[in-house]
Structure 1
Amino acid sequence: MVKRKAEAQASRHNGKGILRKRSKTALSNEDAQKCFRDGLFKKSVLQKYTTNYTKSEPYQHSVINELINDELLRSVRNEIWENVHFTPKETDIYKIHQSGDLANLDGLDDAALEKLPSLLKLRDALYSEPFRNYVATVTASGDLSGRKTDMAINVYTPGCHLLCHDDVIGSRRVSYILYLTDPDIPWKAEWGGALRLFPTSTIEEDGETTKIPSPDVSKIIPPAWNQLSFFAVQPGESFHDVEEVYHAATKEQLEKDGRRVRMAISGWYHIPQIGEQGYVKGAEEKWGHNSSLMQLQGNPDRYDLPQSQLNVVEAQVEANEEKGLDESDLDFLLQYMSPTYLTPDTLEEVSERFLELSSVSLDGLLSAKFSEKVKAYIESQEKLPIPEQNADVRAPWHMSKPPHKHRFLFQQPLTPKGETPAGVDPITELLNVFFPSKQFRKWLEIATECEVENFDMLARRFRKGHDYALATSHEGQSRLELSLGLTPTNGWGGDEEGETEETEELEEEESKSRIKKKANGHSNKKEKREPEVIKKEKEETDDAGGQEVYMAGDDDETGDAAVYKATADEDDGVLFSMFAAWNKMSIVLRDSGVLKFVKYVSKNANGDRWDISAAFGVKETDDDDDDDDDEADGDEESTVPLEDSEEEVFNGFPDSDKSNSD
């Protein structure tokens, strides 16, 4: 990785260490134009890019190759490689290495800034009046600010990615990416890392117009040395992502490929500020307000998939039923569940742990016999071609949308009554028979001491190299959220060698004889977890992704709401998390305001992530909630360790915290 530390030396004056501050300088228009390739500013060249921009799809954008004077840009890349530090960052939407905000370069002392003269020159050239006017002409965006610089250096190494978003934040008017990939090793499209654009469809209904982004990309722009891609920020339309940078097959191939370091300077041009040409008082506030309105124009949520299918439990029927499990309940549950979790002592242990932490993870929930059926079905599905486009998805599975919220395959219950036709696959059976059953609800109420009022559920398949669910908050009454991991492959993190099927069957036989005798329960194994550490100039630890993470909500709307891996001195805010796993169920009592997401599943994963996700609304009680967040944080099995970071910000070069980092 490009993390070699530059040591800023303090200048000495009269025996005292004094850091001389450099006054901010500006390039003349003539010097600024010299930073770009010859002929770029010719009227005919400008007209060509302007014409191409207006004809581009799925929305207007432009690509300029060989933008910068090659000698200057090589010097910039060398300075970055030698002197700039990068902070590894990971949220629900991205995994990157990011520099500080280049707007703060002027605040460096002379000794530090002398190591970055070409970078400073490039920054000033990109925000110079000639080039701002150039960009404004091509995009027809109107005047752009030269005072408000907003840019950072982002490095994507294998496994890094940025998911779908439209860049609409504050006063952003034009988004751009200037690539600094290895100039001597041309980037190959099969390495990933492309800028990908999503088309939108317009729906006219009830006098309202709503734009919906497609889950499938329609334009792919691979990175290339000295290439600039840019587009006007259009609320509800300029949806794009950065494709994952894919791992090489071998370490030798990775070295041959120059380690696949996708380096770029990305940022935004903003609307004019006070004192600048084109400034209009109140325009920035109006721009942000209108952008928010355009993003929410119409009622886009009603076109989301999946839509909730809330089933209300008939309280008057269940109120007269005993809370304990009778023989008929056990006979039904034994068709699906491991007998271990039906013994009274084990059920009591589960309840005690849940009441203590408001969460619990149960290994081996499904019986050996039924889990065999599930595994055989999933393994057969994974041998088939992976459906990559919406049109390729096979029933009963459907594609979720929109992609700036989530993307995965799903199926919902066929009927709300817990009935399903004979001969269906085992996942459909779990979804339609087992989980909606009153027998399972009785078991759940005993395990959690909660009274279920309603439920909603779906089966999900997160395809490797494609799928995720971005952070969403839950508002309203508390609810029990269940996730039954059905991922048969290993290598997801926290893995340990599972028990053999023979061992599981033996345990079941022993357990069956104890169910009604109050025998001792089965103690769960502790999941081993190791934090991923990005090592200096070495290949990153493989991370398959796919973690389901619960986090405390962030009251600061200007920050990243779901930063769960950053620097070691930050509180990651993780309340509970679970890696993709086989036959392991988590139960979490989720309060209002708690965020949840499923991390993007890397193409490097050994398979897809499968689960059944269910939410059970529970009756509110008058009892005070004694469970503190710090108790949940202290759960060794339930939390993602805070990742270590060996980086510090470069000598007063403040860290950047940009939520959309192309």
Structure 2
Amino acid sequence: MKRKAESQSDRSNGKSILKKRAKTVLSEEEVQKCFRKDLFDKDVLKKHTKSYAKSEPYKHSVIDTLINDKLLRAVRDEIRDNVHFTPKETDIYKIHQSGDLANLDGLDDGALEKLPSLLKLRDAMYSSSFRKYVAKITGSGELSGRKTDMAINIYTPGCHLLCHDDVIGSRRVSYILYLTDPDLPWKEEWGGALRLFPTKTFEDEKGEKTITPSPDFTKSIPPAWNQLSFFAVQPGESFHDVEEVYHAESKEQLERDGGRIRMAISGWFHIPQIGEEGYVKGAEEKWGKNSSLMQLQGNPAAYDFPKALPVEVESPEKDSQDSEESVFEEGDLDFLLKYMSPTYLTPDTLEQVAAQVMETSSVTVPDLLSKKFSAKVREYFEGQEKLALPSNSEEIEKGSWKVAKPPHKHRFLYQQPKKATSGKSKKGFDRELTPIEEILQVFLPSPQFRKWLELATQCEITKHDVIARRFRKGMDYSLATSHEGEARLELCLGLTPSPGWGDDEESDDEENVEEEDEDEEEDIPAERSSSSKSKQNGNSKDKTQPPELKPVQEVGEKKEEEADVGGHEVFMAGDDDEADEDAAIYKASSEAEDDNVLFTMPATWNKLSIVLRDGGVLKFVKYVSRNAKGDRWDISGVFDINEAEEEDSQETAVTLEDSEEEVFQGFPDSSDSDSECGNY
């Protein structure tokens, strides 16, 4: 739970006692002293203005030395000694962040006395002189000095910020001022760079143009002490991210690198407010409206990939007998046994799976694939990971993989079925299929698997859409999205061969299964808690409280951190309360009891998850850190169900707002015995 400083609230009645102190105004002479001596010279201003105008992929500028070095060192010391940072994580970022520096004036006298240099820096950055300086370079027009919007962000190894365009509300100019160690220059190989993405303009048959960002960045700006990077916020164009700060090879190396602490003050200049020079009534509302229109200009969805490719299934004719008497025919079993562990074809096991789905709307099935077929799949995936991929997306797409885009929504590699196979034997294709194609085009779309899934979920399936995904370490992710409409079954078959993804207990169990005597009698699977864990995410920066005072060394000096390499798939409850926030940033409460993460599953090997997902539930795959031992591989599928079946399951569809229980329940690891499955 977030600790509040004693100066921020009255413990007796809960009322805020933030002081209503007028913001200080520095004299022009004081402002000039805060910056480097020649910054405001006409020749220097002219140089930066020309550089900005010629910059690519969109207009931006970098000022190598901005602030008086003595002042900035004092600011860094004050931050390290006094400012408290809160770790925050959502689908789009992982950072340590202070409170809003706009609220420094709310601190009591004793607390504010500890941050005099930081206060001076803030007031100098939002002074009339510097705002006009930035406006001249960017051509942004007048900027507000009253609406200050800045915070201190610290990126330690594993921290990152994914692709976005900064378009929220009245923002006009974005900036980052780096406070990295002044005596230990930041190295480019440590990561943490500001990276800019180019955009492409598409024109349809009607002449309507759409601008969308490319999946590859073309400009990288590494951090440096006292460096300012800034650009005008351009809706639909100013896409950027912050590269992950990479882990060191060892603790000793990390110590030699000073902890790789990327500290920076970042923020925005806004449109002038009422009473300020340059204020125009209605301009802020118009800016916000135009920004939204720019982001949605043309038909951006037409250039989102991958596209859904749902395949309608033929419903078998119902005979006069009870539907529960439906059985697997001998041919069905022969087909399924090529791919699936026999345990999951027994009547008792299927009944338990179905009961679990009916109770919690979800289930995990470990060791779904048979030992023989899974060994073949593992060998294939391990071989694929050893092959070097081109770094450029266009080069990648010359092969069998495509790149998910645009990057402010998702980025990963994918394959889709070339055609609906309806259970066709792999011999029916013009070449030998790879294991991933065999799962994608033969096994999962087959009527035999569909029959198994209907028995396992008690749902009638009407459509299916499957896709193979590869999330490359240090590159890939999918941001939070929801789906419209009725509840549907969503499957994910984890095929990640590398360990260390937070599911080691199950991995160990799988290894033990491999060593078991195949002739040993199997136990019938029973319900147990899976490794699914709620992950507490943080809110975006606090707009109402000043920074909390507590030394920051704890951020950089934390030696042992739980291994978290990302790659987990997360389901979250929808949150419509923050309509004015960036839709790409899905937020969760910092209070454990208000945590809106429904459940999360790490990357796994040979484990199937089945979820009855209701409309409005968000889902994403967390960015995969470069520190992961491999890529995340899976087959993801959407299976639409009959509306009548959905109505029967309405109360248990995965909304989960009323349940505090973890919904994923698994079954003990299964081994392939030679016992007869029998008909079901």
The normalised TM-score by structure 1 is 0.89
1:365 to 353, 365, 368: 368
Q: 1:304 to 1:21 in 2, by over 3 A?
A: closer
Of residues 396, 400, 405 in structure 1, which corresponds to 2:404?
400
Mapped to 1, the partners of 2:413 and 2:459 lie a distance apart of: 30
Q: Structure 1 CA distance, aligned partners of 2:175 and 2:122?
A: 13
Alignment partner, residue 415 of structure 1? 419
Instruction: Give the counterpart of 1:623 among 644, 648, 652.
Output: 648
User: Match of 2:611?
Assistant: 588
Q: Distance in 2 between matches of 1:64 and 1:355?
A: 60
Aligned mates of 1:508, 1:141 — CA distance in 2: 72
Deviation at 1:292, TM superposition (A): 0.5
Shift of 1:439: 0.7
SS in 2 for 1:260: coil
- Under a length normalisation based on structure 2, what TM-score does the superposition of the two structures give? 0.87
The 8 Å contact of residues 154 and 266 in structure 1, kept in 2 or not, is answered as yes
Structure 2: which amino acid aligns with 1:224?
A: A
Distance 1:292 1:508, change over 3 A: farther
2-side partners of 1:140 and 1:526: how far apart? 56
Aligned to 1:547: 568
What secondary structure sits across from 2:648 in the alignment? coil
- Corresponding position of 2:675: none
Alignment of 1:75-474 (within 5 A): 75-205=74-204, 206-315=206-315, 323-393=326-396, 395-418=399-422, 419=424, 421=429, 422-474=431-483
Q: Distance in 2 between matches of 1:505 and 1:440?
A: 28
1:612 matched to 2:629? The reply is no
Aligned equivalents of 2:99 and 2:596: distance in 1? 23
CA distance in 2, matches of 1:89, 1:70: 30
Over 3 Å counting, the alpha-carbon distance change for 1:597 and 1:111 in structure 2 is same
Count of aligned residue pairs for this structure pair: 624
The 1-side partners of 2:489 and 2:8 are apart by 57
CA distance in structure 1 between the aligned counterparts of 2:487 and 2:376, rounded to whole angstroms? 34
Give the secondary structure class of the aligned counterpart of 2:630. coil
Q: Deviations over 1:118-143 (max 9, x none)?
A: 11111111110000000000000111
Distance in 1 (CA, whole Å) between partners of 2:476 and 2:156 is 19
Amino acid at match of 1:613: S
Q: Given that residues 90 and 563 in structure 1 are in contact (C-alpha distance below 8 angstroms), is that contact kept between their aligned partners in structure 2?
A: no
The aligned amino acid for 1:357 is T
Instruction: Output the amino acid matched with 2:403.
Output: M
Query: Is contact 1:386-1:463 (8 Å) kept?
Result: no
Q: Distance in 2 between matches of 1:235 and 1:624?
A: 42
What is the root-mean-square deviation in Å for CA atoms of aligned residues?
Answer: 2.7
CA drift at 1:388: 2.6
Could you tell me how far apart the structure 1 residues matched to 2:81 and 2:294 are? Answer: 43
Q: Secondary structure at the match of 1:629?
A: coil
Identical-residue share of aligned pairs (%): 65
Task: Give the superposition deviation at 1:523.
Answer: 5.8
Give secondary structure in 2 for the equivalent of 1:40: coil
Which of the numbers 503, 508, 530 marks the counterpart of 2:513? 503
Contact 1:495/1:528 (8 A) holds in 2: no
Q: CA deviation at 1:312?
A: 1.1
Distance 1:531 1:224 in 2: 33
AA of the residue aligned to 2:602? F
Is the contact between residue 473 and residue 625 of structure 2 (CA under 8 Å) also seen in structure 1? yes
Q: CA deviation at 1:390?
A: 0.5
Deviation at 1:236, TM superposition (A): 0.7
Q: Quick one: distance in 2 between partners of 1:259 and 1:297?
A: 44
Distance 2:212 2:492 in 1: 29
Report the Cα distance in structure 1 between the residues aligned to 2:190 and 2:589, rounded to whole angstroms.
25
Tell me how far 1:318 sits from its aligned partner.
Answer: 7.7
**Pair 318,63 (structure 1): closer, same or farther in 2 beyond 3 Å:** farther
How many angstroms does 1:326 deviate by? 2.2
Moved more, 200-209 or 111-120: 200-209
Give, as a single letter, the amino acid of the residue that structure 1 aligns with 2:444: F
Task: In structure 2, list runs of 5 or more residues that go unmatched.
Answer: 10-16, 538-552, 667-680
In structure 1, C-alpha distance between the alignment counterparts of 2:318 and 2:340, rounded to whole Å: 22
- Kept after mapping to 2: 8 A contact 1:9/1:112: no
Describe the SS at the equivalent of 1:258: coil
Shift of 1:80: 0.6
Q: Which residue of 2 aligns with 1:73?
A: 72
> What residue number does 1:527 align with?
531
Aligned mate of 2:599, from 565, 576, 580: 576
Question: 1:590 and 1:636, CA in 2 relative to 1: closer, same or farther beyond 3 A?
Answer: closer
Moved more, 494-503 or 125-134: 494-503
Shift of 1:575: 1.6
Counterpart-to-counterpart distance in 2, 1:423 and 1:54: 54
Amino acid at match of 2:648: D
* Cα deviation digits, residues 359-379 of structure 1 (max 9, x gap): 111111111111101100010
- SS state of the match for residue 281, structure 2? coil
TM superposition shift of 1:522: 6.0
